[in-house]
Amino acid sequence: MFGSDGGLDSGSANLLPSSSSPWHNIIVTGSLIDDLGIGFRNSFKRVIGNGANTNFWNDYWAGTFKLSERFPRLFRLENYKECSLMDRIVGSNDAAVRRLNWDWSRVLTGRLIHQVVELADICTSIVMDVSKIDSWSWSLSSSGCFSVRELTGIIEDHGLPSVNMVQESLLNRLVPKKLEVFVWRAIKKRLPVRCELDKRGIDLHSLRCPLCDDELESVDHTLIFCKHALDVWDRIYSWCGLGNFLNLSIGEILRGNSPCNMSCIGKTVWQAIEWVGAYFIWKNRNNKVFRDKIRTAPVTLSEIQLKSFEWISNRLRGRKLDWLTWLTNPSSYFSL
Ligand SMILES: [Zn+2]
């Protein structure tokens, strides 16, 4: 699984026995993370300690190759093909006094002598620390230790390619950064809905929408066309006095579809409400998938009203929102 430089091997997915294997999913997920430009799969490096947990012939401890492939004739003559580094290099941190402990099935002659000399050079040049066990280091953390929390932070940083977002007008100063990331991912079809996971080779028992079970679960279906989403959008449009909800694509909605009578700030306020709406529809979907709970459309609308009020009023400089006005006539803020 670990690649030629000690990192996760991008070609290893082909070697896995089944696409339903957890390792298959992990590697595909690694690939998705790499798509963000993070270099995740190559971020795990082997740190050699006493060599007890490192396979001498088949781990990438010596550089960008396996010894079994670099020295196939010697490997055939090895008596114990699963031997560890510690079995073959009898250790000292001082390479000059290391002893090499071979176990061949016959006496080496001819060219094999030259090969074993080359192999010995590799073994004596490796840096070891015999007082420690072998371990892995995660190069994306200054501590060398992998943590989901740190990885989440890195993904969030990379998941927001600011230049692209400015170019595509996907910034809205009235919402938290995580909503900008969410919107960018939704428009780029990078939300992990079942159809998108399936395209990336992850086996799922069903591709149907976990909420309605009527259609395949795409990003557009989840955020707009699912009957649960439509119910929420109808209520948002009604609350904001904007008439009937138009069945637009998620890109059209989130990039901005404001009526022309709105002011510049009003358009930003309306776009912020739409983004909060899509975000809570997505949260509702995740509640169903991960907790088997679903909120009704009126409850979801209440959450959208409350959270949009909180986020927008905290960021709208020079203006104060009034909670009662927000609940009963939010469109009065569309002409600020
Ligand atoms: Zn649905």
Q: How far is the CA of 214 from the centre of ligand 1 (A)?
A: 6
Q: How far is the CA of 327 from the centre of ligand 1 (A)?
A: 28
Dist. CA 237–CA 153, nearest whole Å: 34
Q: How far is the CA of 220 from the centre of ligand 1 (A)?
A: 10
H-helix segments, the chain: 22-35, 67-70, 72-77, 85-88, 111-125, 148-158, 162-167, 177-187, 194-199, 219-220, 227-239, 250-255, 264-291, 297-315, 323-328
pTM of the complete model: 0.56
Contact between 172 and 279 (Cβ < 8 Å): no
Orientation angle between helical segments 227-239 and 297-315, nearest 10 degrees: 50
Q: How far is the CA of 181 from the centre of ligand 1 (A)?
A: 23
Sequence ranges of the domains in the chain: 12-125, 161-333
As to burial, measured by CB atoms within 10 angstroms (0-12 exposed, 13-18 middle, 19+ buried), residue 271 is: buried
| Rg, C-alpha atoms of the chain | 29
Q: How far is the CA of 165 from the centre of ligand 1 (A)?
A: 28
Neighbours of 240 (CB within 10 A): 18
pLDDT score at 8: 40
Dist. CA 281–CA 211, nearest whole Å: 11
Strand pairing category for 99-100 and 89-90: antiparallel
Contact between 207 and 195 (Cβ < 8 Å): yes
Angle in degrees, CA 34, 66, 38, rounded to 5: 10
Angle in degrees, CA 193, 268, 296, rounded to 5: 45
Query: Tens of pLDDT along the chain (336 residues)?
Result: 334 333 443 333 334 444 455 565 566 667 667 666 677 777 777 788 888 989 999 988 887 789 999 999 999 999 999 999 999 998 777 777 778 999 999 998 888 998 999 998 888 888 888 888 888 888 788 788 888 778 877 776 665 555 455 455 678 889 998 888 888 888 888 888 999 888 877 777 889 999 999 999 999 999 999 999 999 999 999 999 988 777 777 888 887 777 667 788 888 899 999 999 999 999 999 999 888 888 999 999 999 999 999 999 999 877 788 999 999 999 888 876
**Which of 269, 288, 268, 156 has the alpha carbon at shortest distance from 222?**
288
**Which residues is 44 bridged to in the sheet?**
138
Q: How far is the CA of 284 from the centre of ligand 1 (A)?
A: 12
Q: How far is the CA of 310 from the centre of ligand 1 (A)?
A: 29
Q: How far is the CA of 295 from the centre of ligand 1 (A)?
A: 14
Dist. CA 262–CA 268, nearest whole Å: 9
Q: How far is the CA of 196 from the centre of ligand 1 (A)?
A: 15
Q: How far is the CA of 149 from the centre of ligand 1 (A)?
A: 31
CA dihedral 192, 198, 203, 208 (to 10 degrees): 80
**CA of residue 188 relative to chain centroid, distance:** 14
Q: How far is the CA of 235 from the centre of ligand 1 (A)?
A: 17
